[in-house]
Chain A
Amino acid sequence: MNARDTVNPGRKPWSPYVGGALSGLLVVASVWVTGKYFGASTTFVRSAGFVERVFSPEHVAALDYFVKEAPKVDWQWMFVAGIFVGALLASLASGTFRWQAVPPGWAERFGPSRPRRGVAAFCGGVLAMFGARLADGCPSGHGLSGSLQLAASGFVALACFFAGGLVTAYILYRGR
């Protein structure tokens, strides 16, 4: 679709239906073997706890939320680390690894400024993670694991994720 993707594109991508269906089988296998459903955002709480504990262990020990989601390495923490490793291996093997500071679509709209992209990504991350914890899950925990279990919370959260995302995308890219 985009001309820039045809410049040294690496190996052709998989169909998202194939990648998605394989991921579905992976969820089923994971639930069967270990009883674990996919999720990602709790790992950020545990990791934030790790970092904060270095500076102020008493404060971390006093916060209810860090008692509930204690700073520790668990199944999900390794799962999230694995996503990083898997993406690294797959991108290197397929020639699609790119060291890139600003995504092409962003650069087309907002220019090549790295600080501008960095500030937006940082603020987006703060808001997204605060929201994910308030909602009790992210597109993995609610979107995939929740809705595939037919959880009412999963469908409600997923609809709200997209509703919020559509609003931001509309504001940022209006008329383009």
Chain B
Amino acid sequence: MDLTYGLVTGILFGIFLQRSEVLRYDKQLGALRLRDMTIVKFMLSTVVVGMVGVYLLVDLELAKLSVKPLVLGGNITGGLAFGLGWGLLGYCPGTSLGALGEGRWDALWGILGSLCGAALYAEAYPAMKVTLLTWGDFGKVTLPRLLGVNHWVVIVPMVAGALLLFRWFERKGL
């Protein structure tokens, strides 16, 4: 049953990504060159709606959070490495499959590279586990817990901030 839900969710997400033109190399590089904020608008809209909805579910005890641990050594070095590669590829792991789906088949080279990257990481993992992944390990923390406040105290300003940012994007024609 999980597999069917996964497929249906993926298909819907693929449709939303494709129709918003978020899958394209030119759009992803547009954001990284600070010229076209399409992908940032898409991501932030997802985050804002998801944030409010998921925390409502959590408050109503209908869902649980699934937070990844904050490990600065891994998050920062891995995040920067990801970004450097992303700028070259112009697709991210999820959107590379979507880009292939809409016929942009240069994504296939990226997918093959990604499989090699994953295999390489499996080789490197024992070394990472005793080095980078031990640096700055704070466990599964959320922003409200770090600040010691209720989650809505963080969510409301974030939503407001996103809306202001959207208004600024539209004014600047980004």
Q: Are B143 and A98 in contact (CB under 8 A)?
A: no
Q: How far is the CB of A31 from chain B (nearest CB, A)?
A: 5
Chain B interface size, under 10 / 10 to 19 / 20 to 34 / 35 or more: 35 or more
Q: How far is the CB of B112 from chain A (nearest CB, A)?
A: 6
- In the assembly, what is the distance between CA of A44 and CA of B119, in Å? 9
A-B contact pairs, 6 of them (CB 8 A): A2-B26, A13-B20, A23-B13, A124-B86, A135-B81, A146-B68
Q: Are A21 and B111 in contact (CB under 8 A)?
A: no
Q: Are A88 and B101 in contact (CB under 8 A)?
A: yes
Q: What 0/1 pattern do residues 54 to 85 of B give for CB contact below 8 A with A?
A: 11010000111111111110111111111111
Known contacts A47-B118, A96-B18, A164 near B11 by CB under 8 Å: no
Q: Are B90 and A131 in contact (CB under 8 A)?
A: no
Q: Are A148 and B97 in contact (CB under 8 A)?
A: no
Q: Are A14 and B54 in contact (CB under 8 A)?
A: no
Known contacts A85-B101, A127-B117, A79 near B93 by CB under 8 Å: no
Q: Are B121 and A16 in contact (CB under 8 A)?
A: no
Chain A interface size, under 10 / 10 to 19 / 20 to 34 / 35 or more: 35 or more
Which residues does A use to contact B, with CB under 8 Å? Answer: 1-2, 13-28, 30-38, 40-41, 43-45, 47-49, 51-52, 63-66, 73-91, 94, 96-106, 114, 117-173
Q: Which of A16, A23, A124 has the most CB of B within 10 A?
A: A16
- In the assembly, what is the distance between CA of A79 and CA of B34, in Å? 30
- In the assembly, what is the distance between CA of A87 and CA of B91, in Å? 14
| Across-interface contacts of A150 in B (CB, < 8 A) | 51, 55, 142-144, 151, 154-155
Q: Are A131 and B47 in contact (CB under 8 A)?
A: no
List the B residue with the shortest CB-CB distance to A138: B93
- In the assembly, what is the distance between CA of A163 and CA of B109, in Å? 24
| Across-interface contacts of B4 in A (CB, < 8 A) | 78
Q: How far is the CB of B26 from chain A (nearest CB, A)?
A: 4
Neighbour of B54 across the interface among A27, A121, A130, CB < 8 A? A27
List the A residue with the shortest CB-CB distance to B132: A134
Beyond A38-B94, A83-B14, A133-B117, 6 extra complex contacts between A and B, CB < 8 Å = A38-B9, A78-B10, A81-B7, A127-B85, A146-B68, A168-B32
Q: Which of B17, B33, B93, B121 has the most CB of A within 10 A?
A: B93
List the B residue with the shortest CB-CB distance to A51: B115
Neighbour of B101 across the interface among A91, A123, A170, CB < 8 A? A91
Q: Are A14 and B20 in contact (CB under 8 A)?
A: yes
List the B residue with the shortest CB-CB distance to A125: B113
Q: How far is the CB of B31 from chain A (nearest CB, A)?
A: 8
Q: Are A52 and B119 in contact (CB under 8 A)?
A: yes
Q: How far is the CB of A165 from chain B (nearest CB, A)?
A: 4
| Across-interface contacts of A80 in B (CB, < 8 A) | 10, 93-94, 97
